[in-house]
Every structure is written in C-alpha cells, then in structure tokens.
C-alpha cells in the first residue's frame, strides 16, 4: 500500500516538474510547481515527517506560491519567447541531464548502505513537538540566526525599492 502510494505521488511530482520546465507560460509553470509541492508533501507524510508535510503545504504551496503568482501577474509576463537558443544546450542538454540523473540513481541504488533505515513510517521524530524541541535546544543558534537572514532580506528589499537614493 505504502509503495503504491509512493509510486503514484512520486510520478505526479516528476510529471509536474517536467511540465514546469516544458511550459512556456509562467502561470502554467507556477501551477505545475504547486503540484510538485503537494506531491512532495504527501511523500514526506508517507515517511512519517508530519510537521514537514504540513509546513510544505502551508509555506510553500500556500504562501510562497501566492507570491510567485502575484509577481507574475504584476509583471504581466506573457508566454516565453525563444530567441537564439544556444546550440550547446540544444544538443548536449538532454544527454547531459540523462547522464547526471543516471549517475545519481546508480549511486543511490547501489551504494546507499543502510536501506533498512528507509522504511515508510519508520521515522518517529517528525511531530511538531519533536521538531520544536530540536529547534529550541540543539538547533537554537541556527534558528535564531535565521532571523538575521530574514531581516537582511527585508532591509535589502527596502534599499532596492525606495524612491530616492
């Protein structure tokens, strides 16, 4: 059952990801991205990471995607126009991608040692309580320092968007 669910949602994620790249209209790409995020959330849930699944939907599929769509609408971006596509990308892009994915899947398939650890639902520390406890004890400093990162992002937006210098 787990394996079937995994395969279905993994297929949805990959299909949406390919669609995201292939589509020429930004809105279609953005909607495909939402599909990828939702499918990923289900995969997290299958592994037992419930907090991450919820955060994935609320933060990524929700808040961040709304921003994406807003920006696309504000910029009034139309379908992508293709000019002077590089010959290099045309002929080498797809083979290089297939080669890279082949190497990565080969490595994961044959070299990953502890496959018995990767079992659906075997991960027990994915609850909001467990994540919160980790964040406020072991990972306290990264958690706090991230606020500085966000502050800089806001400051940067203000600097780049103000009217006069």
Our finding on whether 145 is near other proteins (CB under 8 A) is yes
Our finding on whether 137 is near other proteins (CB under 8 A) is yes
Query: Which secondary structure element, helix H or strand E, spans residue 146, and what is its range?
Result: helix 140-161
Our finding on whether 151 is near other proteins (CB under 8 A) is yes
Instruction: Specify the 3-state DSSP secondary structure of 11.
Output: helix
Distance set, CA 10 to CA 34, 51, 67, 115 (Å): 14, 19, 25, 18
Our finding on whether 101 is near other proteins (CB under 8 A) is no
What secondary structure letter does DSSP report for 109? H
CA–CA distance, 127 with 105 (Å, rounded to integer): 30
Candidate list 111, 119, 120, 127; residue touching other proteins; CB under 8 A = 111
Only one of the segments 15-23, 35-43, 81-89, 146-154 lies at the binding site for other proteins (rule: CB under 8 A); that segment is: 146-154
Beta carbon nearer to other proteins, 91 or 139: 139
Residue whose tokens read 């002077």: 84
Residues at the interface with other proteins (CB under 8 A): 104, 107, 111-113, 133, 136-142, 145-146, 148-149, 151-153, 155-156, 158-160, 162, 165
């Amino acid at each position: 059952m787990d394996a079937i669910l995994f395969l279905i949602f993994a297929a949805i994620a990959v299909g949406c990801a390919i669609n995201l790249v292939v589509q020429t209209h930004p809105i279609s790409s953005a909607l495909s991205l939402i599909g990828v995020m939702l499918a990923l959330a289900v995969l997290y849930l299958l592994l037992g990471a419930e907090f991450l699944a919820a955060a994935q939907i609320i933060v990524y599929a929700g808040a961040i995607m709304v921003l994406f769509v807003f920006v696309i609408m504000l910029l009034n971006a139309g379908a992508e126009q293709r000019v002077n596509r590089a010959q290099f990308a045309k002929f080498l892009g797809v083979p290089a991608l297939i080669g890279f994915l082949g190497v990565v899947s080969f490595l994961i398939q044959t070299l990953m040692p502890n496959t018995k650890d990767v079992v659906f639902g075997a991960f027990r520390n994915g609850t909001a309580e467990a994540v919160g406890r980790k964040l406020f004890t072991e990972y306290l400093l990264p958690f706090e320092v991230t606020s500085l990162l966000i502050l800089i992002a806001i400051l940067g937006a203000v600097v780049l968007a103000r009217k006069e210098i």
